[in-house]
Chain A
């Protein structure tokens, strides 16, 4: 009965945009696993700094590497980082929120304090601390964003969970004979899902940006790994001479972040029936009582 949400999502223009962008990124990343027009790391000095032309559709960089191939294989890194950090953020976020909302009072309040302390650490600082252990690796980005956003999710989801926990329909659910676990699964989690989804999609967008930024700073992806952030860092040194080449990785990052944000917003709207303006409500005379 609740399966109507994919259709509602598609009917929202923001949802459509988000779905299409994310699908394109996923398909690109998947296809880059087996095929790119050129080998992204193939250096050809004779072909350096070409503009968009055949066969280099987006041109080449300063060492003659094909920019389209670089952007395509960079999508792999992006998807890997976004999904990886989203998984970690989900586990940390739900665990902390549940511990902070559903347990005995002293556990609850200590978790709340812990979350407040953790939230004071910016993602960048966490990343730098982790990179001190692991050196330059994508896992640094994934764990840093995963932890940083997990805490953020917990912070937003916990009061929401408390609010829903005290609403009448949760008591009513217990009064119908639901056990606490059934109640959590049937009433509590579905009601905090909208807030959670928005946070998560935002977290994924931040992960994309953080990967780009941290790779740019030299903490994230190793130089051999194709990454939008690295590419941007390399190309931007020649911004005044070859401005067009910088456009492509920049555009890829921007579109991905925009797509994820819009998808998150649309998902919330589509899964929450009280918000859905797309729901074609039949205007019939209200029956009294």
Chain B
């Protein structure tokens, strides 16, 4: 199963915000989409799931497993979302429903796509909570999001996205809203979950340092256009475009410093 995006365009209110983005993610591959805010990376992710905001139109082609996703009826897309393609959002504080327990939210996708009983869904939720290494899974599934820390909430969000074992995970800046130490743990977790299951990953970030930890290939976006596409080691050592060079300069803040600088 592979994702092939070709000449993707997104228009919002007559303005073209994503202009001819193309990339390809093969089975088990890890791709990074990198760019500054407003470069169209999140919209690209939402377009893959057919969840663009009201008033936005997508053009071009997004093929998943040889099915065209652009223009596919919403009912069929709903069958793919969560089941074959999962997504983790940036902000764990708002990505969870505040009035439902964590366990019910993890089990939601399972209940939709696999039609299991309430009791079995709960057992699955506990297992999923354990898989993302939440502490005390049996009790944590009965808690509400506001009773959890930011890192725990992001683990819940990951558990929700992975509950049905999708073949592709889209992670939209999943560590940006977290403390540096917790960022590293979440990255570790994502990495091991992705490689355990052999699923493909599209990782969106504005941070080359984070990207270098998790992705093999990087696509650099600016103003909705692809400015550079290369294996991550190449991006790190011989960046061609000024955008990538800028990102490389900025990347020294967090987890990692490129060798030979300072």
Contacts and interface: CB of A to CB of B under 8 A. Distances in A.
B248 interface: no
Contacts of B80: 177
A274 B142 contact: no
B146 A169 contact: no
Contact of A175 (B51, B146, B185, B186): B51
Contact of A177 (B81, B95, B96, B147): B81
B142 A1 contact: yes
B101 A176 contact: no
Interface string B175-218: 00000011001100000000000000000000000000000000
A287 B153 CA distance: 12
Given A171-B89, A274-B146, A177 B113 contact: yes
Nearest to A187: B97
A172 B113 contact: no
A176 B51 contact: no
Sort chain A's interface into a size bin.
20 to 34
Contacts of A180: 74
B151 interface: yes
A175 B147 contact: no
B115 interface: no
A179 interface: yes
A172 B160 contact: yes
A286 B82 contact: no
Given A176-B160, A287-B135, A168 B95 contact: yes
Contacts of A171: 46, 51, 89
A176 B99 contact: no
B174 interface: no
Interface residues of B, number: 46
Interface string B62-95: 0000000000001100111111001101010011
A273 B89 contact: no
A274 B94 contact: no
B109 A1 contact: no
Q: Which of B87, B96, B97 has the most CB of A within 10 A?
A: B97
B99 A177 contact: no
Contact of A172 (B99, B146, B157): B157
Contacts of A178: 78, 108, 112
Contact of B99 (A274, A286, A288, A289): A274
Given A172-B160, A176-B82, A177-B82, A191 B147 contact: no
Given A168-B89, A174-B81, A179 B100 contact: no
